[in-house]
């Protein structure tokens, strides 16, 4: 069965502080490690009152320090916001401290709005340089060449594995051309999912890092003991999307009994489209949905996010999801054995 991983945004829930969100992120990573998740990624977002992972490399270090075996990384670093050498130094440092456990997922979007981008002292046009910046970053993380005068220290020779993140054909094409693993943001932008996966797989060229395509797909997953409880918990995510359309940036809100009274028909339509790859319900309900999703995408890995207000409920959701993963793996093993003996 394919591995399951976690994308966490260090959600700041209503009434809490960023420190609470970061403590909860590390606690979730510690539990995820115990439950057999493959990776724990944090994402770069700026000027977001509900997200505490803006200083992404710092947050990654905090999580990595509290764990032992799970891979920790970025999902992702928005490379147009940074000089490649700076990111090489940051992730080279992380790799030096936590060897063999650091991933570097890279995105082309700014992770914020234009006004905040100006506050970051970045030119929006720098996104056009993304392919060249990826290559420059890769060179800084690669083996130091004789006579090389410009080095990332730490960083040179660390070979931190790079990932290309995306929600369009551009990222798929670039990941294929460079022979890098590809993570598609279907947890909030699913429209081009199947076309992007097809492009990535058809055009993939083997590289030193990767000999064959590796596609990870994102999903929103909320699991509870019953369908009703899971749908109730999921209203926090639905409110978050409705607020996004309203231009209202807020902390993650508590769940509500009636989401229909919260959003307008147009907000519901937009949110439902963005949340096409959301699996919400009891373990049996989510298992059916995820099984079909994995079969349809032929994904090599699933990256799950869960904007659940109550930390204990969020932990329970991921615990139940780990049980679903193991059940799917057992069924896949039985099918393989049956096929071999047929």
Which structural domains are found in the chain, ordered by start? Answer: 4-143+151-341 (3.20.20.30)
Task: Please name the helix (run of DSSP H) or strand (run of DSSP E) that holds residue 278, with its range, or none.
Answer: strand 278-281
Please check the confidence at residue 56 and state whether its pLDDT lies above 80: yes
Q: What pLDDT, on the 0 to 100 scale, is given for residue 180?
A: 98
- Cα–Cα distance between 20 and 186 in angstroms, integer? 28
In the predicted model, what is the mean pLDDT of the chain? 94
| pLDDT exceeds cutoff 60 at 259 | yes
Mean pLDDT, residues 150-164: 97
Report the alpha-carbon distance of residue 154 to residue 242 in Å, rounded: 43
Q: What's the pLDDT score for residue 121?
A: 66
Among 82, 28, 37, 104, which residue's Cα sits nearest to residue 312?
Answer: 28
Q: Is the pLDDT of residue 95 over 70?
A: yes
CA 48 to chain centroid, in Å, comes to: 17
Quick check: 263 and 277 in contact, CB under 8 A? Answer: no
Q: What is the pLDDT of residues 269-279, one digit of tens each?
A: 999 999 999 99
Q: Could you report the per-residue pLDDT of 182-241, keeping only the tens digit for each?
A: 999 999 999 999 999 999 999 999 999 999 999 999 999 999 999 999 999 999 999 999
Residue bearing the bigger pLDDT, 42 or 124? 42
Quick one: pLDDT band at residue 340, thresholds 50, 70, 90? Answer: confident
Mean per-residue pLDDT, 72-79: 96
The position carrying tokens 């990535």 is: 200
pLDDT reading at 112 higher than 70 = no
Output the pTM of the full model.
Answer: 0.94
CA 160 – CA 276 distance, rounded (Å): 32
Give the pairing of strands 102-107 and 182-184. Answer: unpaired
Radius of gyration of the chain (CA): 20
Tokens matching residue 269: 């339509």
């Amino acid at each position: 069965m394919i591995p399951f991983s976690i994308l966490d945004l260090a959600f700041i829930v209503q009434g809490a502080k960023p420190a609470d969100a970061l403590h909860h992120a590390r606690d979730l990573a510690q539990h995820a490690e115990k439950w057999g998740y493959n990776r724990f990624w944090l994402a770069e977002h700026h000027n977001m009152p509900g997200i505490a992972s803006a200083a992404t490399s710092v947050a990654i270090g905090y999580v990595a320090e509290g764990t032992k075996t799970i891979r920790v990384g970025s999902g992702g670093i928005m490379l147009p916001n940074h000089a490649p050498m700076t990111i090489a130094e940051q992730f080279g440092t992380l790799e030096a401290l936590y060897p063999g456990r650091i991933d570097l997922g890279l995105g082309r979007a700014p992770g914020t709005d234009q006004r905040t981008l100006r506050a970051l002292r970045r030119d929006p046009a720098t996104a056009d340089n993304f392919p060249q910046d990826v290559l420059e970053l890769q060179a800084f993380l690669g083996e130091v060449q004789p006579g090389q005068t410009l080095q990332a220290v730490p960083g040179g020779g660390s070979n931190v594995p790079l990932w290309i993140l995306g929600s369009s054909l551009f990222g798929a094409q670039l990941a294929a051309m460079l022979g890098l693993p590809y993570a598609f943001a279907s947890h909030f932008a699913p429209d081009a999912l199947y076309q992007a996966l097809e492009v990535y797989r058809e055009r993939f060229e083997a590289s030193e890092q990767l000999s064959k395509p590796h596609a990870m797909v994102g999903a929103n997953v909320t699991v509870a003991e019953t369908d009703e409880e899971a749908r109730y918990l999921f209203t926090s995510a639905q409110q978050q999307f409705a607020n996004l359309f309203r231009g209202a940036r807020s902390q993650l809100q508590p769940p509500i009994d009636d989401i229909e009274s919260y959003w307008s028909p147009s907000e519901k339509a937009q949110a439902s489209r963005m949340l096409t790859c959301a699996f919400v319900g009891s373990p049996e309900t989510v298992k059916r949905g995820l099984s079909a999703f994995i079969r349809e995408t032929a994904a090599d890995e699933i990256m799950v996010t869960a904007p659940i207000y109550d930390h204990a409920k969020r932990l329970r959701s991921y615990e139940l999801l780990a049980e679903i993963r193991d059940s799917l793996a057992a069924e896949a093993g039985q099918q393989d054995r049956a096929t071999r003996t047929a």
